[in-house]
Amino acid sequence: MARRKESDRAQQNNDDSDSNPNDELEEEPDFDDPEGYEDDISEQDLMGDLIRQRPKETDGVESIVVIDGVPQVGPERIEKLQNVLKKLFQKFGKITNEYYPLNPDGSTKGHVFIEYSNASEALEVLKGTNGYKFDKNHTFTVNLLTDFEKYNDILDKWENPVPQPFKEQGCLQYYLLDQDACDQFSVVYEQGDKVAVYLNTQPEPSLLEERPRWTETLVRWSPLGTYLATFHAKGIALWGGEKFQQIVRFSHPGVQFIDFSPCEKYLVSFSPLADSRATDEPQAIIIWDVLSGLKRRAFNADKSQALPIFKWSHDDKYFARMGVDMLSVYETPSFGLLDKKSIKVQGIRDFAWSPTDNTIAYWVGEEKDTPARVTLLELPSRNEVRVKNLFSVADCKMYWQKSGDYLCVKVDRYAKLRKDKSDIKYSGIYYNLEVFHMREKQIPVDSVEIKETIQAFAWEPVGTKFAVIHGEPPSTSVSFYEVKTGQTPTMVKKYERKPCNQLYWAPSGQFIVLAGLRSMSGALEFVDTQDFTVMNTGEHFMATDVEWDPTGRYVSTAVSWWGHKVDNAYWLWSFQGRILKRVALDKFCQLQWRPRPPSLLSAQQIKDIKKSLKKYSAQFEVKDRLKMTKASKELVEKRRKLMQEYEDLRKQKQEEYAEQRRQRIELRNNVDTDETEGRGGELEEETVEFFIKEETTFIDE
């Protein structure tokens, strides 16, 4: 464009000079290169865009296809072959030219060139007839003529791809090396606009990293705490290391849910809307390799299924999903079905992996005369290690204890069943807790009957207790049961009329928070289940979430903007229920503790530590006290500075005030009011005597 303009202008100049020959024109500078001058700019740089449009030799031949694998026939049958092929290839467009190369003896060579009227038709042919089975012995191989050029460019010698240079990620586990084993937590606030990561130091959490627009919705820690996942419209990003640099990205448009495998090897991302686009490749669920960032397998989603669709075994070896009347177990790293076929389970309702073994528990609903049953299935052997039949079952829920020692199945049972056309109505519902002792021979099952509605159930993560909230709110009760070898579970404590709706065990067991969230206005009770003392009660008004830190030392409560629109804040408590910190944040959404991998210490080592806890705690107390005094010193220092600044300003103000005293007195009619301010309040006591009555009495003597 510019070029043309220039030439236009030159033209005009010429015109001008033509029309006004007398005009004194400045001599046109000579733009020509001197002879022998070599331009140091290549033509490619100068006008790459033009060169790219330069006509190529192949122009016009894109519409020619080469068909290989055509039967070789003698001259007498050429016409017949031509007719058959014409019929076949006419379907794709208008044939403008065809050529049958012949051997010297007049027979065909076995390949044919066909030219179409345009290139798109040729492409259609390629799609439609490449690999076409002409007859038993002849399969067509179809190529574009232009492909020859493409294949020409391929080097004869294979060159190994250059390995990617190793990128130093730093120590991803650095957070475990913190001197005082402080835990990190992430905070999402301002409606998701800001994400911050804090280190829970005492007495004040310290900010490690804060970024605006780090995520678009929420963040998730990976199960061992190595990565922080952020959600974006285009996919998921994982961050880690000391500076929270980006480790890997997974492109999955519209992703809404993610799930890590327990060992963090794989990530499952789920985009509920992805299926609407018509592609052959499934888009809804993608399983990624976390370390390499590569896609491993994609699945289509069944809309009706509850999340997570895929459940992982504890060691990342298997993952499973439930289908209609079947359970599909896949294995890694091949990502194929285990033994190439799904497990047929008629009427499967739900399943759950054991948290420590490759055992699946699933249950099957009642069907006519066959009772409902819970099955424990060992993988990959597919041994049914235990089957328990259950009668009059309305619903079941399975709860694995975190150490995998027990499985509790909460069974909703009915006394009467009424079928109303398609509706099934249960009445007289009561509850059974079926406890499977996984570590004992033949897995004995005990059952506990509870008459009232069960509101919540929770296993002690480490230990032998479980807690149940039962009854109708607000007059709910909390019961604690202990499970022992060879015995039915025994109730060890019952709190009558404890208004709460959620149970939160400390990750290390023993301590539990009974919480009445949301509608129960955020009442909290901290209980030590060793001797069932209520250590403390508290309240975080309208709290929506309670979370233990991974070591069980602190508890966070939160009023999330997602659940409640005002007073969004998070509070930190000690495990004994002492409030440590209240942090109010605008539109605060979510607080998540960074998880820790399981301890590497052996049981004996832990025992030893517990034994000498007294010694350690003395050391820690000294440390804590030091920190507190340091912090209060810092605070005092800060206050002193603020006070000094303020005093300086006030002094200046007071001097000005004193200077203006005369003017002020003038303003108030020469009355000095500076000294009498506020004196009216100090009432002077006045004694007023009234003469009320006079009486005279005579006293007889």
- Residue 555 CA to residue 540 CA, distance in Å, equals 12
Does 632 interact with another protein (rule: CB under 8 A)?
A: yes
**Structure-derived torsion over alpha carbons of residues 408, 412, 414, 420, reported in degrees to the nearest 10:** -140
DSSP code, position 685: P
Kindly state whether residue 683 participates in binding another protein, applying the rule CB under 8 A.
yes
The reply on whether position 681 binds another protein by CB under 8 A is yes
Q: Whose Cβ is closer to another protein: residue 496's or residue 637's?
A: 637
Residue 337 touches another protein, criterion: CB under 8 A: no
Q: Kindly write out the interface string for residues 579-618 of this chain, putting x where it contacts another protein by CB under 8 A and - elsewhere.
A: -----x----------------------------------
- Smallest distance from the beta carbon of 577 to another protein, in angstroms? 20
625 binding another protein? (CB under 8 A): no
Among 50, 102, 613, 642, binds another protein (CB under 8 A): 642
Q: Does 660 bind another protein (CB under 8 A)?
A: yes
* Gyration radius from the chain CA atoms: 41
Amino acid at 690: F
Q: Nearer to another protein by C-beta: 212 or 680?
A: 680
Shortest separation between residue 584's beta carbon and another protein, angstroms: 6
Q: Is 578 in the site for another protein (CB under 8 A)?
A: no
Q: Return the range that interacts with another protein (CB under 8 A); candidates 25-33, 168-176, 339-347, 675-683.
A: 675-683
Q: Rounded distance, CA 336 to CA 158, Å?
A: 31
Closer residue to another protein (CB): 243 or 668: 668
- The answer to whether the beta carbons of residues 359 and 378 sit under 8 Å apart is yes
The interface region with another protein, picked from 72-80, 349-357, 492-500, 637-645 by CB under 8 A, is 637-645
Residue 680 touching another protein (CB under 8 A): yes
Q: Are 116 and 84 spatial neighbours (Cβ–Cβ below 8 Å)? A: no
Q: Which residue number, 39 or 686, has a Cβ lying nearer to another protein? A: 686
What is the chain's length?
A: 701
Query: Of 221-229, 424-432, 451-459, 678-686, which segment contacts another protein by CB under 8 A?
Result: 678-686
**Site size with another protein, rule: CB under 8 A:** 34
Please answer whether residues 285 and 298 qualify as being in contact, where contact means their C-beta atoms are separated by less than 8 angstroms: yes
- Considering the rule CB under 8 A, would residue 497 count as an interface residue with another protein? no
Kind and range of the H or E element at 198?
strand 194-199
Tokens 């006008």 -> residue? 47
Q: Rounded to the nearest whole angstrom, what is the least distance from the CB of residue 641 to another protein in the complex?
A: 9
Residues 544-573, mask of contacts with another protein (x by CB under 8 A): ----------------------xx------
**CB closer to another protein out of 417 and 635:** 635
- The nearest distance, CB 675 to another protein, in angstroms, is 12
Would you call 398 exposed, middle or buried from its count of C-beta atoms within 10 A (0-12, 13-18, 19+)?
Answer: middle
Q: Binding residue for another protein (CB under 8 A) from 150, 341, 607, 653?
A: 653
Options 578, 636, 648, 672; binder of another protein; rule CB under 8 A: 636
One of 292, 442, 663, 696 touching another protein (CB under 8 A): 663
How far, in Å, CA of 195 to CA of 242, rounded? 16
At closest approach, how far in Å is the CB of 2 from another protein?
48
Beta bridge partners of 480: 467, 493
Whichever of 72 and 660 has its CB closer to another protein, that residue is 660
Output 516 or 550, the one with its CB closest to another protein: 516
Q: Which stretch binds another protein (CB under 8 A): 53-61, 119-127, 500-508, 638-646?
A: 638-646
For another protein, the closer of residues 337 and 649 by Cβ is 649
CB of 690 to another protein, least distance (A): 20
664: contact with another protein by CB under 8 A:
yes
Q: Enumerate the β-bridge partners of residue 322.
A: 327
Query: Is residue 661 part of the contact set for another protein (CB under 8 A)?
Result: no
Binding to another protein by residue 682, rule CB under 8 A?
A: yes
Q: How far is the CB of 559 from another protein (least distance, A)?
A: 11
295-299, strands of its sheet edge to edge: 257-260, 266-270, 285-289, 295-299
Closer to another protein by CB, 425 or 653: give it: 653
For residue 678, state whether it binds another protein (rule: CB under 8 A): yes
Give me the phi and psi of 242, to 5 degrees please.
-65, -30
> Is position 657 an interface residue for another protein (rule: CB under 8 A)?
yes
Q: Where are the beta strands (DSSP E) in 205-272?
A: 206-212, 219-221, 228-232, 235-240, 245-251, 257-260, 266-270
Of 60, 105, 67, the closest CA to residue 85 belongs to 67
Instruction: Pick the closer one to another protein by CB: 533 or 632.
Output: 632
Distance CA 269, CA 250 (A): 9
Q: Which is nearer to another protein, 180 or 655 (CB)?
A: 655
Query: Using CB under 8 A, which of 91, 646, 648, 672 touches another protein?
Result: 646
Beta strand 359-364 with 95-99: parallel, antiparallel or unpaired?
Answer: unpaired
Q: Is 110 left (phi over 0), alpha (psi -120 to 50) or beta?
A: left
Under the criterion CB under 8 A, does residue 668 sit at the interface with another protein?
Answer: yes
Give 91's contacts (C-beta < 8 A, 6+ positions apart).
128
Q: Helix crossing, 613-659 with 603-611: angle to 10°?
A: 60
Segment near another protein (CB under 8 A); pick from 49-57, 72-80, 148-156, 649-657 = 649-657
Residue 504 CB, shortest distance to another protein, in Å, is: 23
Stretch that binds another protein, among 112-120, 125-133, 249-257, 639-647 (CB under 8 A): 639-647
Q: Closest by alpha carbon to 514, among 480, 565, 482?
A: 480
Examine residue 640 and tell whether it contacts another protein (CB under 8 A).
yes
- DSSP string computed for 465-534: EEEEEESSTTS-EEEEEE--TTS--EEEEEESS----EEEE-TTSSEEEEEE-GGGTTEEEEEETTTTEE
For residue 650, state whether it binds another protein (rule: CB under 8 A). Answer: yes
**Burial grade of 377 (CB within 10 A; 0-12, 13-18, 19 or more):** buried
In a 10 Å sphere around its CB, with 0-12 CB exposed, 13-18 middle and 19+ buried, how is residue 211 labelled? Answer: middle
Binding residues for another protein (CB under 8 A): 541-542, 566-567, 584, 632, 635-636, 639-640, 642-643, 646, 649-650, 653-654, 656-657, 660, 663-664, 667-669, 673, 676-683
